[in-house]
Structures are given as structure tokens and as C-alpha cells.
């Protein structure tokens, strides 16, 4: 039951989520049969926040049901309750018509609920089959398991070799391991948490075929995403969460991405504006950057060349695990380049220097991992300003910290970049992903860098925060900063970058103006085709 539907919301459901539009019932679903999973008035509070507020949701067999909402809307909390990771404060969960208590993930799997998490939990040094065996409650002998893995992967177009080591696999393949692990238990409900965020467009299409096939066999699928185009292409129904409440349910095939975005955000989405730019002077030059992998699981970078000029945004696309992390580390100086001329900032060779010196020369970085790399989780925001601000912002005098100045700056950043938190004394770990990312980007921007390297700047961030981050990058470029964005989100790169290059297995394609590429071409480059062939294919 939704209380107090917001007045401006046309799509608000007032009497349970089923009312607005009846999706066509799949044929496997006899009339009057109980839904596979039914949630009634699920509520869950954390200190200071109602993560789920009386949420009703039902998923039928043979249905792909989208759960969409901004980050922090309560999607993760809800699926964690369904998967037994969290327990609800109130509400009823019914599985095939019977009320159940799901006390743990093991209990969830026993019922027939499988979940593929956004972040995989795989052991790099073990084989595919060993990893799957570890994740099963009762795996049986490994040879029989190999057989079953091969069967399942053939049946659902999930090619996997059971005896390969995980360390050599692409992210897409790793995801397949997680999916196969779930499918081995013949789940009645499969939960997919942002599954396409790590895939190339082509890989995503294959995943959708697999999911449709599962649906046709009667499996219920809960598909969590904030990519609305995908939801429209794949899902039969969508439930939209906002601030912990179910605000709407709709048939995504009858909506536009815009109308769903509006339901999700509660207002029209803001599109970041970019004024035209002129390339300024050369700020960053990467010359023949070659860095051998630090260990067996790292990608070696080979012969990377790129120039960045003031005022431009250059995007580096690529499927995760193709050297993005290594490139970012080689640019920040966490890993030093073997040659000093390999990284040149403002005509100063800094390849052999660490992060401190590179920052002094005018670089700033937004790292891929927000918590634990970009911010110290158990320190408050003022202390986190110091993490990279200690060099350029006058926060340190004679080796002693000027905490008041750091607090003032933290307050400035939270105000200027709309970081929502309970004050600058909040620990970084308590901020939502989007807010923490706005804080980190703000912290780097207030240092007025000449070069900003941003890795995955909007990964897992809600669309409002993403728009704000893109706008901040545009504004920074307008002031003459050269910006390099390394991202797996192709839509983002197409939107914000002036030039684009693709990273594949540690090699970088040439950078060309973004408008000269089509999505398909980039997809091919991401898959390892060289640009000449990609051109021919199009």
C-alpha cells in the first residue's frame, strides 16, 4: 500500500502495483495461481533512513521483472531481504503462495532463489568448476559437476570451459560462472543485480537471449538496473523505487526511457550542457607507455600513446579487465612507468615519479574505487579532504594539519557539489555511492588541476548524480583542464567525450573524434577487432 502518492506523479500506483497496467500473462501462468514471489508491505530501516517503506511486489513465473530506481532508492536492500542477507523489520514474503521466512542466503537458495551479484565473488586462482563447487551447498563430485556445467552452458548459450582458471577470463565470462552457478540449482527466481554494467553491447545482447530463454522456461527473473533502454528491451514489467518507496509499476514496453526516468527521479532528468570548446595547449602526453603487469592477474600495458589538450575530454572505452585499472595506476603514479618520458605533464617528464610529485605538477585523479582508494571509509569528510588536498590546498602548515581549514573546505565541497550527507563529520563509508563520488570529484576539482584522470566517474551512481558529475566535468574542461575519462559505460563516453579511444588487452587504439564512431564500431574494437577491420565492417 502506497501512502501519500506525490501529487505530480501521474504514474503513481495507489492500490498495489498491479493496477496501472496488466502485463500480458505468460502462458505458463494459469489464472489464479500464486505468484512465484510476493512481497507485502516490506519495510526496513537503518539508523536515520527508511531504506524500504511498505513495498509490495509480486513476480510471476515466466516474467522478467525490472526493479529500477536511483542509487539509494532501496533496490539493494529489497533484494538483500529477498535473498536472506538482511531481514525485514516488517512485512510478509510469500513464495508460491506460502508465507516464508528467509533467514539466510542458504535458505533462499533452498527455496529456489538464485542471485548474480554486481561484484563477483570468485577465486582468481581456482578453476571455473572449483569456483562453482565452492558456491554450491552440495556440489557432488567434480567430474559430474563438469558434465553439468557443460550441459547448462551449452543449453543457455553461456560458453564456459570448466577447467580453465578464472584469472584468465574476461568479466563477461566471470559473470557467466555466476549465472551457471545459479542455474545449476534450477532456480525458480533469478535475481540479476546490474548485470550489464560489465558487458560490451554485444555481450549484453547475448545475455538477454539467455534471460529470455530462461523466462520462456518459466523462471522468474528480477532484473535490477538503471539503464532504462535495457529495461524497455528486456522486461515485461517494471517496479520503480524512489526514496525507499514503490512509486510506480508499469509495462516498460509502453513507456519511453524519459517517462521512466521521470518516475525514477521524480522530476524531469537534467541533461548536462556543454558549451563548445577549443583545444588549448598540450597538457598531458603519454608516450609509448609500456608497463608489465605487477602480478599474474594484471594486464600488461603495451605501447600506449595519447595526447591531451586543455579543454578537451578524452574517453577511453573498453570492457573491464582490459587494462583500465593498470592504466589508471600508471597515470596516477601508484605504479611507476619504466621510463620518465612515458608520462609528460605540462612538458615535465614524470613517468618515474609517484602520485605526490605528479599532483604537484598539476594532476588530479578520481580513482575507480571510491571506498578504500578514493576515500578512507572510517574517516570523516574533513579528514578525507586531506587525502589528496594536503598538497595544493594549503591545508598543511609546517607539517601540521589545519583541521579547521579542512573542515571549511569539506563544507564548501559538500555545498558546491550537492553532496548529501549528515554533515562533514559523517564518515565517508556512510555516504551513498553517488554522494561519495560527488565529494571525491569535488575534492579533485577544487584543486584546479591542469589534468584530471577520472576512472569510472559514474559507476553505480544514480542518474541525478551522474548528470551532476558530467556537468562538473564539462565546467572543469571549460576552464581549460584536460580530462581523461576511463569508463566501461559506453553511453557515458559517447555523451561526454570529444575524442574516444578503446583499450583492449593493454593496447590502446588511436583516439578519434567521438562523432566519427558508431556504437557497433566501438563494440568491435572493445572485442579486439582492429580499427581498419571495424571500418570495413560498417
Partner 1 sequence: MIMLERRRETSRVMKFASPLLALVLTVISGAALFGLLGFDPLEALYQFFIAPVMTSYGIAELLLKATPLILIGVGLAIGYRANVWNIGAEGQLIIGAIAGGAIGLALHGVDSVLVLPLMIAGGILGGMAWAAIPALLRTHFNASELLTSLMLTYVAELLLTWAVNGPLKDPDGFSFPESKMFHDSASMPLLLEGTRLHGGFLAALIVVLLGWFFISRSLPGYEVRVTGSAPHAARFAGFSQTVTIWMTLLAGGALAGLAGLFEVAGPVGQLVPKISPGYGFTAIIVAFLGRLHPVGILFAGLLVALSYLGGEMAQITLNMPLAVTGVFQGLLLFFLLGVDILLTHRIRIGHIKPRSAS
- Comparing CB distances to partner 1, the nearer of 214 and 455 is 455
Q: Which of 6, 24, 99, 292 binds partner 1 (CB under 8 A)?
A: 99
Backbone angles phi, psi at 194, to 5 degrees: 45, 55
Which of positions 419-438 make contact with partner 1 (CB under 8 A)?
A: 426-427, 429-430
Q: Which of 98, 209, 303, 356 binds partner 1 (CB under 8 A)?
A: 356
Q: Which of 401, 411, 494, 495 binds partner 1 (CB under 8 A)?
A: 401
Give the binding range for partner 1 (CB under 8 A) out of 203-211, 276-284, 326-334, 528-536: 326-334
- Comparing CB distances to partner 1, the nearer of 274 and 402 is 402
Q: Is 3 in the site for partner 1 (CB under 8 A)?
A: no
SS3 category, 481:
coil
| Angle between helix 381-389 and helix 433-445 axes, rounded to 10 deg | 40
Q: How far apart are CA 45 and CA 91, in angstroms?
A: 12
CA-nearest of 175, 182, 146 to 161 is 146
CB 17 within 8 A of CB 66: no
Q: Is 136 in the site for partner 1 (CB under 8 A)?
A: no
Place of cell 565492417: 537
Concatenated DSSP letters for 139-171? ---HHHHHHHHHHHHHHTT----TTSBGGGS-H
- Comparing CB distances to partner 1, the nearer of 423 and 513 is 423
Q: Is 101 in the site for partner 1 (CB under 8 A)?
A: yes
Interaction mask 105-134, partner 1, x per CB under 8 A: ------------------------------
Q: How far is CA 234 from the centre of its chain?
A: 19
Q: Which of 26, 201, 377, 480 binds partner 1 (CB under 8 A)?
A: 377
Q: Is 46 in the site for partner 1 (CB under 8 A)?
A: yes
Q: How far is the CB of 204 from partner 1 (least distance, A)?
A: 30
Q: How far is the CB of 53 from partner 1 (least distance, A)?
A: 12
CB 232 within 8 A of CB 258: no
How many of the chain's residues bind partner 1 (CB under 8 A)?
52
- Comparing CB distances to partner 1, the nearer of 82 and 260 is 82
CA-nearest of 183, 235, 191, 187 to 82 is 191
State the DSSP H helix or E strand holding residue 261, giving kind and residue range, or none if neither. helix 257-265
Q: Which of 117, 120, 208, 390 binds partner 1 (CB under 8 A)?
A: 390
Q: How far is the CB of 378 from partner 1 (least distance, A)?
A: 6
- Comparing CB distances to partner 1, the nearer of 347 and 369 is 369
Half-sphere exposure at residue 512, Cβ-oriented, CA atoms within 13 angstroms:
13
Place of cell 552452458: 153
- Comparing CB distances to partner 1, the nearer of 190 and 329 is 329
Q: Which of 237, 283, 359, 361 binds partner 1 (CB under 8 A)?
A: 359
- Comparing CB distances to partner 1, the nearer of 56 and 193 is 56
Q: How far apart are CA 272 and CA 469, in angstroms?
A: 9
Q: Which of 88, 149, 286, 436 binds partner 1 (CB under 8 A)?
A: 88
∠10-12-13 over CA atoms, to 5°? 135
Q: Which of 9, 96, 307, 334 binds partner 1 (CB under 8 A)?
A: 334
Concatenated DSSP letters for 41-64? EEEEEETTEEEEEEEEEEE-TT-E
The residue count for the chain: 538
Q: How far apart are CA 235 and CA 223, in angstroms?
A: 8
Q: Is 87 in the site for partner 1 (CB under 8 A)?
A: yes
State the DSSP H helix or E strand holding residue 436, giving kind and residue range, or none if neither. helix 433-445
Q: How far is the CB of 313 from partner 1 (least distance, A)?
A: 22
Q: Is 372 in the site for partner 1 (CB under 8 A)?
A: yes
Q: Which of 354, 394, 415, 513 binds partner 1 (CB under 8 A)?
A: 354
Q: Is 379 in the site for partner 1 (CB under 8 A)?
A: yes
Strand order in the sheet with 282-291: 301-309, 282-291, 343-345, 348-349
The b/e string for 147-171 (b: 16+ C-beta within 10 A; e otherwise) is ebbbebbeebebebebeebbbebbb
- Comparing CB distances to partner 1, the nearer of 46 and 123 is 46
CA-nearest of 532, 500, 495 to 271 is 495
Q: How far is the CB of 268 from partner 1 (least distance, A)?
A: 32
Q: How far apart are CA 109 and CA 115, in angstroms?
A: 9
Give the binding range for partner 1 (CB under 8 A) out of 152-160, 221-229, 233-241, 378-386: 378-386
Which of positions 159-218 make contact with partner 1 (CB under 8 A)?
A: none
Grid cell in block for residue 137: 551447498
Q: How far apart are CA 501 and CA 499, in angstroms?
A: 7
Q: Which of 15, 369, 516, 520 binds partner 1 (CB under 8 A)?
A: 369
Q: Is 374 in the site for partner 1 (CB under 8 A)?
A: yes
Q: Which of 89, 251, 412, 418 binds partner 1 (CB under 8 A)?
A: 89
Q: How far is the CB of 367 from partner 1 (least distance, A)?
A: 6
CB 285 within 8 A of CB 308: yes
- Comparing CB distances to partner 1, the nearer of 53 and 255 is 53
CA-nearest of 213, 201, 225, 189 to 113 is 189
Q: How far is the CB of 166 from partner 1 (least distance, A)?
A: 22
Q: Is 332 in the site for partner 1 (CB under 8 A)?
A: yes
- Comparing CB distances to partner 1, the nearer of 157 and 369 is 369
Site residues (CB under 8 A) for partner 1?
1, 40-41, 46-49, 54, 56, 87-93, 99, 101, 332-334, 354-359, 365, 367, 369, 372-379, 383, 386-388, 390, 396, 399-401, 403, 426-427, 429-430
Amino acid at each position: 500500500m502506497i501512502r501519500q502518492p506525490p501529487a505530480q506523479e501521474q504514474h503513481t500506483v495507489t492500490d498495489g502495483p498491479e493496477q496501472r497496467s496488466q502485463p500480458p500473462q505468460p502462458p505458463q501462468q494459469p489464472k489464479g495461481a500464486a505468484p512465484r514471489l510476493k512481497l507485502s508491505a516490506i519495510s526496513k530501516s537503518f539508523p536515520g533512513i527508511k531504506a524500504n517503506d511498505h513495498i509490495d511486489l509480486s513476480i510471476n513465473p515466466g516474467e522478467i521483472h525490472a526493479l529500477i530506481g536511483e542509487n539509494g532508492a532501496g533496490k539493494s536492500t529489497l533484494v538483500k531481504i529477498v535473498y536472506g542477507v538482511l531481514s525485514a523489520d516488517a512485512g510478509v514474503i510469500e513464495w508460491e503462495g506460502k508465507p516464508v521466512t528467509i533467514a539466510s542466503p542458504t535458505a533462499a537458495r533452498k527455496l529456489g532463489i538464485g542471485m548474480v551479484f554486481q561484484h563477483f565473488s570468485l577465486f582468481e586462482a581456482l578453476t571455473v568448476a572449483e569456483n562453482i563447487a565452492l558456491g554450491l551447498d552440495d556440489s557432488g563430485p567434480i567430474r559430474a559437476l563438469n558434465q553439468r556445467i557443460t550441459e547448462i552452458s551449452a543449453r543457455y548459450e553461456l560458453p564456459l570451459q570448466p577447467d580453465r582458471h578464472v584469472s584468465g577470463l574476461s568479466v563477461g565470462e566471470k559473470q557467466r560462472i555466476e549465472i551457471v552457478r545459479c542455474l545449476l540449482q534450477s532456480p525458480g527466481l533469478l535475481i540479476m543485480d546490474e548485470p550489464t554494467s560489465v558487458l560490451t553491447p554485444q555481450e549484453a545482447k547475448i545475455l538477454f537471449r539467455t534471460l529470455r530463454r530462461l523466462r520462456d522456461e518459466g523462471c522468474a527473473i528480477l532484473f535490477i538496473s538503471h539503464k532504462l533502454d535495457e529495461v524497455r528491451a528486456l522486461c515485461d514489467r517494471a517496479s520503480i523505487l524512489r526514496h525507499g518507496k514503490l512509486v510506480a509499476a508499469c509495462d516498460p514496453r509502453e513507456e519511453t526511457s524519459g517517462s521512466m526516468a521521470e518516475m525514477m527521479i521524480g522530476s524531469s532528468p537534467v541533461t548536462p550542457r556543454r558549451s563548445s570548446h577549443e583545444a588549448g595547449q598540450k597538457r598531458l602526453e603519454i608516450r609509448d607507455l609500456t608497463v608489465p603487469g605487477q602480478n599474474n592477474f594484471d594486464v600488461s600495458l603495451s605501447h600506449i600513446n595519447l595526447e591531451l589538450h586543455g579543454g578537451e575530454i578524452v574517453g577511453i572505452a573498453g570492457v573491464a579487465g582490459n587494462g583500465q585499472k593498470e592504466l589508471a595506476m600508471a597515470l596516477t603514479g601508484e605504479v611507476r612507468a619504466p621510463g620518465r618520458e612515458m608520462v609528460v605533464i605540462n612538458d615535465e617528464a614524470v613517468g618515474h615519479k609517484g602520485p605526490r610529485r605528479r599532483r604537484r605538477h598539476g594532476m588530479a585523479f578520481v580513482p575507480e574505487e571510491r571506498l578504500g582508494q578514493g576515500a578512507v571509509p572510517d574517516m570523516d569528510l574533513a579528514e578525507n579532504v586531506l587525502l589528496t588536498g594536503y598538497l595544493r590546498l594549503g591545508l598543511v602548515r609546517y607539517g601540521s594539519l589545519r583541521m579547521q581549514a579542512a573542515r571549511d573546505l569539506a563544507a564548501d565541497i559538500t555545498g558546491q557539489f550537492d553532496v548529501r550527507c549528515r554533515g562533514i563529520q559523517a564518515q565517508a563509508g556512510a555516504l551513498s555511492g553517488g554522494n561519495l563520488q560527488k565529494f571525491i570529484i569535488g575534492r579533485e576539482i577544487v584543486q584546479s588541476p591542469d589534468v584530471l584522470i577520472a576512472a569510472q566517474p559514474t559507476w553505480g551512481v544514480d542518474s541525478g548524480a551522474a548528470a551532476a558529475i558530467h556537468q562538473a566535468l564539462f565546467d572543469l574542461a571549460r576552464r581549460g583542464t584536460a580530462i581523461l575519462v576511463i569508463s566501461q559505460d559506453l553511453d557515458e563516453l559517447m555523451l561526454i567525450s570529444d575524442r574516444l579511444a578503446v583499450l583492449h588487452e593493454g593496447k590502446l587504439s588511436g583516439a578519434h573524434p567521438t562523432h566519427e564512431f558508431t556504437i557497433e564500431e566501438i563494440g568491435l574494437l572493445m572485442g579486439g577487432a582492429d580499427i581498419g577491420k571495424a571500418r570495413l565492417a560498417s
